[in-house]
Structure 1
């Protein structure tokens, strides 16, 4: 029987998607027992089942989640395309009123993330909850195409933010219920690619839809909201038929495959999840008093300050001086480059088990991009900066999210609270950064703030690295880490904070 407190290969094994502990490793009072259906299988058979399970859940979950995230971003960001198509002129919006319409969405988005994720962590049908929310925000988005004035637009954007608050923190938590820490960064990158695909093709889709300008007496930007909203409703409801809710109820997996998946997830934590025994209030308090929560929050917060440029990306690219359609086309390549970069960064982070350098090095590129943006107004220089920005700060963000999930020791409901609390706080820059993007075409204040934010994010990542190293040293010495640390079962299972 392996002693996981002393096994040197544990850290490497846990990175491997085929990781599955030996039959007796968790029978000694640690709360996880090898299911009877797996007892008589050889190690080769267990490994084959484990690999098959990973492949199946990838195909069951990831395509649908990516589609939902594409829709999430299209319906949130299409106001930027609508602005170039005459939204502000038709509704007589001032610059400040348009900026308010951007920021008010995030007021509802931020306020409802934590309570929504508390619900996700407690209900039996999290996938159903997420899909219904998708259909609802599609309805709101379609309704935005019927607004007649500034007040109507503000109300629609606020409601859209409330309903969309369900998705991203809920999706990150949902994925953490299906994948181990060693698999998470790449799957997070795959999920995040949905937002970048939405950004990349949102402008190109807008070109096609805006040709409907005047049809049925409606402006093209109205059709943009209406059609994209209706597509969201249809696909959101269709995903209900595809997405499984929990590993225990995944009908497309055999009983043996379900047992292997559940055992793998529980064995990594070192114990069965005790979320049913922990109230959401206590779980939230445990998340708040955990130092790791605030160190990780600092990294993501300042990364998202720099990333807020995406809310104005078509407008910033528009300062290059091209026509509206060319500007839409020019917004696509930076996000396509971003998809490739976040995939590679997430995959390499999972393969090496490293989090810190995969967070810090991309942020260094973000710094360089903002230096270029501040220093020049040349078309080539500005466009290079635009290409570097999303690829760098989103590559960093997806590994940070994986680092957060891997460091959130304790119950699943606490992990849900940590993820939603951090994501809620880290989206607050979207409220105030929108007011920085003025004085075009230079946007000197905005790009200067982005540069400073990148530096501060690196400082927080470095502080988190040293703190987690210190915590791992305490685990090795057998010191008490208190309620914010891993449980005794997790420690006995060889738990270490990812670095």
Structure 2
């Protein structure tokens, strides 16, 4: 009987009575795996099911998700960046002259987007978490900002431009943190960064596509009495509305909704159980009466006082400031080199293409080695080099066209690997779905304040040298590098300190409930480097 008790103790939840032969077989075949699955909260049946899925079968299941989820999110991310940044293309097609803009009016129009964008990211993810089908919420957001984008093409004054930019930021606010949340719901930690890199590949592609598309649409100038810059907003806005309608049908919601369609029931079961094993479960979602518990203010408080989120936000800002500043200004920088408006639009494509490649390659390597810091820091180093060149040589940009255009390429290569690494690093180091949803939104919210900075650092009166723009971008890249190195050191030190005691020793000190409440502060939680 003692033998039966020892084996059955592996499953404290069910304690199923098995015969000695079955117990002996289970103990001999996979005792370590069974322990891991049971401690994650799985039943014995679920633990045995998970152990029976081979690595090859797991890869096959995740590839099914890849083909359904990633292309859709990547296209939507491309559209979101296209819609927020095409104002830079419209600028060199006559936007300012038509709307009688002067001084810092253009910078103000850029900044207005980020006010609601920053303020609404966290509340939006809290709303998203209440939707059983995220595709409905995301579809509504995209339809709304597509409509606003279209209306931007018919504004008659600076006030109208600012109003549409405000509502564009309001409706776009929920998409990116929602997309990151969805990736975290479908994939385990060691499969996240490459999938996130596809977003940033799409972001880089949006920069290239924006210039090519703007150059083509500009030929419509005069059609129906509208200037070319208006057609840029109208055509791209209509395309966004069409994609918003498609989201209701094409964006995967969860394994449960996909089961029996493009996933088998066993596939869906594996994905659900894998999420519990790798991400943890939110155990107290219902009370004794079966009703959902109220909002967990203690989790919000734990997010607000979590030091890692603020350091990660600074790493995020080391991308946001250079990225938005360059995205809004690159067509003008290239025009300053002596190119025509059309050629300047077209020449934005190659740097962004290099940025897309760098995001994918660095993310593949980071996932391969499960190590984020080196790829983030090396990208920040490239940014420092690129902006040092531009800061020194842009004053006489027409005499240094080749060098400055090369530096723009280097800047894009440095910009795009940072955010996939930063977001994967953050989402992998937050325990529990509630804190993960709030934490990633909070980090992105703070980091996107860099968009406001990026909106003002390139002053037209400083062209073509732009000392404030190039100097600020260099400074934020350097500050982000310091924060990334600090995070790496602190995570390494905490992991080593927790490893001084075995798991059994920690469990002797703390109860299971105490360890669960600690979340990522638990001594059993290992920070991902």
Task: Assess same fold via TM > 0.5.
Answer: yes
SS of equivalent residue, structure 2 residue 465: coil
Alignment of 1:205-216 (within 5 A): 205-216=213-224
Deviations, residues 154-190 of structure 1 (Å, cap 9, x unaligned)? 1000000000001111111111100111001100101
The CA deviation at 1:23 is: 6.0
Q: Distance in 2 between matches of 1:171 and 1:196?
A: 17
CA distance in 2, matches of 1:384, 1:173: 36
Corresponding position of 1:256: 266
- Determine whether 1:448 maps to 2:465: no
- Of residues 280, 286, 310, the one that matches 1:294 is 310
CA distance 1:484–1:494, change in 2 (3 Å):
closer
Residue 85 in 1 paired to residue 106 in 2?
no
* Partner Cα distance (2:316, 2:123) in 1: 20
Q: In the alignment, is residue 434 of structure 1 matched against residue 441 of structure 2?
A: no
332 and 299 in structure 1: CA distance in 2 versus 1, 3 angstrom threshold: same
Does the aligned pair in 2 maintain the 1:200–1:332 contact within 8 Å?
A: yes
Q: Is the 8 A contact 2:33 2:51 kept in 1?
A: no
Q: Retained in 2: the 8 A contact 1:135–1:237?
A: yes
2-structure distance, mates of 1:484, 1:191 = 37
Aligned partner (choices 1, 13, 32) of residue 42 of structure 2: 32
The equivalent residue for 1:470 is 493
**TM-superposition CA deviations, 1:3-47 (whole Å, max 9, x none):** x9xxxxxxxxxxxxxxx99762356454223655x846874x533
Query: What SS does structure 2 have at the residue aligned with 1:25?
Result: helix
Shift of 1:490: 7.8
After the TM superposition, which residues 32-431 of structure 1 pair with which residues of structure 2 at under 5 Å, given as runs?
Answer: 32-33=42-43, 39=48, 43=52, 45-250=53-258, 251-271=261-281, 277=293, 279-309=295-325, 310-376=327-393, 377=397, 378-409=400-431, 411-431=432-452
Normalised to the residue count of structure 1, the TM-score between the two structures is 0.90
Deviation at 1:143, TM superposition (A): 0.5
- Is the contact between residue 141 and residue 225 of structure 1 (CA under 8 Å) also seen in structure 2? yes
How far apart, CA to CA, are the structure 1 residues paired with 2:139 and 2:383?
A: 34
TM-aligned CA distance change 1:274 to 1:461, over 3 Å: farther
Deviations 1:195-245 (A, max 9, x none): 111111111101111111111111111111111101111112112211121
CA drift of 1:121 comes to 2.1
Asked if 1 retains the 8 angstrom alpha-carbon contact of 2:112 and 2:166, the reply is yes
CA contact (8 A) 2:188 2:278 kept: yes
* Distance in 2, Cα, partners of 1:483 & 1:103: 46
Of 295-304 and 168-177, the range deviating more from structure 2: 295-304
> Is the CA contact 2:138–2:247 (under 8 Å) kept in the aligned structure 1?
no
Aligned partners of 1:134 and 1:232 also within 8 Å? yes
TM-score (norm 2): 0.85
Change (3 A) 1:405 1:177: same
- Counterpart CA distance in 2 for 1:21 and 1:406 is 26
| In structure 2, C-alpha distance between the alignment counterparts of 1:451 and 1:475, rounded to whole Å | 37
Separation in structure 2 between the aligned mates of residue 168 and residue 320 of structure 1, nearest angstrom? 34
Separation in 2 of the partners of 1:273 and 1:334?
47
User: Which runs of 5 or more structure 2 residues have no equivalent in the other structure?
Assistant: 1-6, 11-29, 286-291
- Is the contact between residue 270 and residue 493 of structure 1 (CA under 8 Å) also seen in structure 2? no
Contact 2:355 2:415 in 1 (8 A): no
Separation in 1 of the partners of 2:225 and 2:513? 62
> What's the C-alpha RMSD, in Å, of the aligned pairs?
2.8
**Residues in 2 aligned to 1:296 and 1:28: alpha-carbon distance in whole angstroms:** 32
> Quick check: 2:279–2:433 contact (8 Å CA) kept in 1?
no
SS at match of 1:24: helix
**For each residue in 1:39-88, what CA deviation from the matched residue of structure 2 results, as whole angstroms up to 9, or x when unmatched?**
46874x53343122101100110111011011101111111111111010
- The verdict on how the C-alpha distance between 1:280 and 1:313 changes in structure 2, with shifts beyond 3 A counting, is farther
> Cα gap change, 1:364/1:169 in structure 2, threshold over 3 Å: closer, same or farther?
same
Runs of at least 5 residues in structure 1 that lack an aligned partner in the other structure: 5-19
Q: Which secondary structure state, in structure 2, belongs to the residue aligned with residue 122 of structure 1?
A: coil
Structure 1 distance, partners of 2:514, 2:376, is 23
Q: Deviations over 1:372-430 (max 9, x none)?
A: 10111310111011111122122122101110111112x21211111111111111122
Counterpart Cα distance in 2 of 1:387 and 1:232: 28
- In 2 relative to 1, CA 483–382 (structure 1 residues): closer, same or farther, beyond 3 Å? farther
Q: Choose 1 or 2 for highest CA Rg.
A: 2
Cα distance between partner residues in 2 of 1:93 and 1:290: 43
CA contact (8 A) 2:40 2:276 kept: no
